[in-house]
Chains A and B, each alone.
Chain A
Amino acid sequence: MFRARTYNSGYGPTKRYMEKAIFYKEWIKTRWYFLLSTLLLAAFTGYCLLNVSRIIEFKGAVHLWEVMLERDAVFVDLLTYLPLLAGLLMAVFQFVPEMQQSRLKLTLHLPYPHYRMVASMLLYGTLALCVTYLVSLALIGICFDALVARELFARVVLTALPWYAAGLAAYFLTAWVCLEPTWKRRILNMLVGAGVLRIFFLAPAPEAYNAFLPGLTLFTLLLSLLGMLSVYRFKTGEQD
């Protein structure tokens, strides 16, 4: 049974050095994916916004407002599952290499507390995803702020926010699945993950998640703890 040694040397200058090193390692692993996903999500967002400008060009701004008010259109529906996909793939790119040839064993042998190490890796992924999502949300914000009243602007952003929260949840859940050392449990984790992600896509109505959004955000952040459970199982020698 593998038991990684715990080092208490992750403090002071060593701690800062290690954190930088972990972040750099994660950056090396995911930089191309990060750039590609940021560009692709921005491109899809741009495509949605291009459709909005086309509607204004061919049918006029009045029609745009009318459709948004009467038919509950938000014009960014194309993005619904893209943040989820971006989050899921980020975790795959970040954690699948760790699980290949038991590289996680080596990572956990580094002179740094294990859970803090995984937390730093998850923090890196979360920050990278936040940048990706913020670029997309900023594009939506800039466009709709200029074109429509603040009520409709808020409607679009509040409708889209659960999709981005789902992206973060997909990231944490995929990390949990990837870090899990046994296949039996991994499949069980996948089923739970799919069930959790379904919660983010239950209603197509605009602003359907307004009341639940603070709780859902807190729940999403708590999902980051599940990765630690997989590391714990890895440390205690669970294996196929």
Chain B
Amino acid sequence: MIRTSKILLYFIATVLLAWTLPWAYGLLGGASPSAPFTLYSSVSGEFSWLEATDRGIEYQDAAGRRFTDKQFDSILPFFYYRQLISDNRFPDSIRGVAVTPKLAQAGNFMFRSSPRQVNANVPGIYPLLESMSGRVDLEASDDVFRIDRNGITFIDCETNTVKADKSAAFTEMMRKKGFVFPARVIAGNPTTRKEYDEGFFITDNEGKLFHLKQTKGRPFVRAVELPEGLEVAQIFVTEYRGRQYFAFLTDKAGQFYALTTGDYALHPVAIPPLDLTRQGVMIVGNPFDWTVKVSDTDGAEHFYAIDGETFGRLKELHYPAPEPTALEKAGKFVFPFRLSFTSGSDTEVVPRVTDISAWALILGLVLAAAFCVIRKTNPVRQAPQCLFILVCGLYAFIGLLLFSRK
């Protein structure tokens, strides 16, 4: 038992050091530089960006042109439309197409998806708002629904009991439209802080996509046709002011789609496959085009200009991942691995071993020899400890020096 206790103590010390030492080491390096704020200009047809430098904020584009702040407003008329209206500089037309401030107001949208949001734990119950209440403001739902293999069940919030009639009516309608319970993906924006409600987009147990909403207390269910073989991975219901899209989707292969309103048509967006559980995406859209920013875990950022009508790619710009600093490179020789419990990519606390480095074995070997010298013992007698130091390097060395008997 004492041997087990000692091993446990060395293990705990090693875990704590593997967790805290690389973190403290990382603090020495400071923050890594990030890509400048970049948008595609509908006017110039180039990516343009603003960057904070020692000389102040600098505005330029991919063609090498430099701008003043006022010129920068003018080449991004949809993004800075409020400033242009205020200065009475909003253009009458862009690329020969008549535009109005109202068009900018209605057609602009911003979409964000972060791995943390995609990987978040959700309770599995959702409020279904009334989408045709006849009131200007949306009202909070007095019930929530869950979908399991038996159907959709509505639970009354006041009494915490099942609304049998409503559950039966919705289950029957969904079955009638071909929905096979249970659901795979359930997506909606069940908040009253929006202008209108489009309910939920749900994939059934066979991967078919359905639109579900509540209109005057009755179920509205519509099957959405998907291309052959398409398997939906994530759905993001948009509900933008311009009502141009129902949702953005990704399939299992990572292809990004826009589901347009009216025709329920699915349009593939011309950007490379995404893994939204690891990559962040931001879209700044206007009636003409979108700027899609894809952020990789290593710090690289990719910008794609997408045509707002055809969803084809107009331009692209890439900011590579920052080069590892000398400190980071040296870290590979010092730390055999890094242990962390949290991640910026999700909300879970779970041990994660990253950055395993074989280079640290050299230091491990030196430290194992140093341990034998310090303890003045035969390496054969200390073989388990030496092996432990060889593998876990600095962490095991410090842990053993602190807690093993002299």
Contacts and interface: CB of A to CB of B under 8 A. Distances in A.
Interface in B129-149: 140-142, 144, 146
Contact of A212 (B8, B9, B348): B348
A63 B120 contact: no
A212 B349 contact: yes
A210 interface: yes
A226 B8 contact: yes
A147 interface: yes
Interface residues of A, number: 41
A192 B12 contact: yes
Contact of B191 (A63, A70, A199, A226): A70
A228 B5 contact: yes
Nearest to A206: B121
Interface stretch (B152-160, B245-253, B304-312): B152-160
B20 A195 contact: yes
A65 B144 contact: yes
B2 interface: yes
Contacts of A225: 1, 4-5, 8
A79 interface: no
Interface string A191-212: 0100110010011011111111
Given A149-B144, A149-B155, A210 B347 contact: no
B106 interface: no
Interface in A138-154: 146-149, 151-152
A223 B15 CA distance: 14
B158 A188 contact: no
Interface in B351-406: 351, 402-403
A226 B124 CA distance: 40
Contact of B351 (A70, A149, A212, A222): A212
Interface residues of B, number: 39
Given A196-B12, A232-B2, A151 B121 contact: no
Contacts of B2: 228-229, 232
Contact of A199 (B127, B157, B341): B341
A229 B5 contact: yes
B127 to A, nearest CB: 7
A62 B140 contact: yes
A64 B402 CA distance: 51
Nearest to A70: B191
Contacts of B123: 68-69, 151-152, 155
Contacts of B43: none
Interface string B1-27: 110111011001100100110000000
A17 to B, nearest CB: 24
A192 B2 CA distance: 18
A192 B350 contact: no
A93 interface: no
A155 B122 CA distance: 9
A110 interface: no
B197 to A, nearest CB: 15
A199 B16 CA distance: 9
Contact of A202 (B9, B141, B342, B402): B342
A62 B142 contact: yes
A229 B350 CA distance: 28
A108 B146 CA distance: 58
A23 interface: no
Nearest to A211: B350
B190 interface: yes
A104 interface: no
B221 to A, nearest CB: 23
A67 to B, nearest CB: 10
B125 interface: yes
Given A65-B144, A151-B125, A228-B2, A196 B16 contact: yes
Contact of B1 (A62, A208, A228): A228
Contacts of A69: 123, 125-127, 144, 190
Given A151-B125, A188-B402, A228-B2, A203 B144 contact: no
Given A210-B348, A225-B8, A66 B160 contact: no
A208 B146 contact: no
Interface string A10-32: 00000000000000000000000
Contacts of A188: 402-403
Contacts of B341: 199, 202, 212
A146 to B, nearest CB: 7
Contacts of A130: none
A75 interface: no
Contacts of A64: 157
Interface string A63-89: 111101110000000000000000000
Nearest to B20: A195
A61 interface: yes
Nearest to A147: B160
B347 A148 contact: no
Contacts of B349: 199, 202-203, 208-209, 212
Given A61-B158, A62-B157, A149-B155, A205 B347 contact: yes
Contacts of A210: 121, 348
Given A212-B351, A228-B5, A60 B158 contact: yes
A208 B20 contact: no
Nearest to A159: B121
Interface string A209-240: 11110010000001101101100100000000
Given A61-B157, A69-B144, 5 more contacts: A69-B127, A70-B191, A148-B160, A149-B146, A152-B123
10 contacts: A69-B126, A147-B160, A188-B403, A196-B16, A208-B348, A209-B349, A212-B341, A212-B349, A228-B1, A229-B9
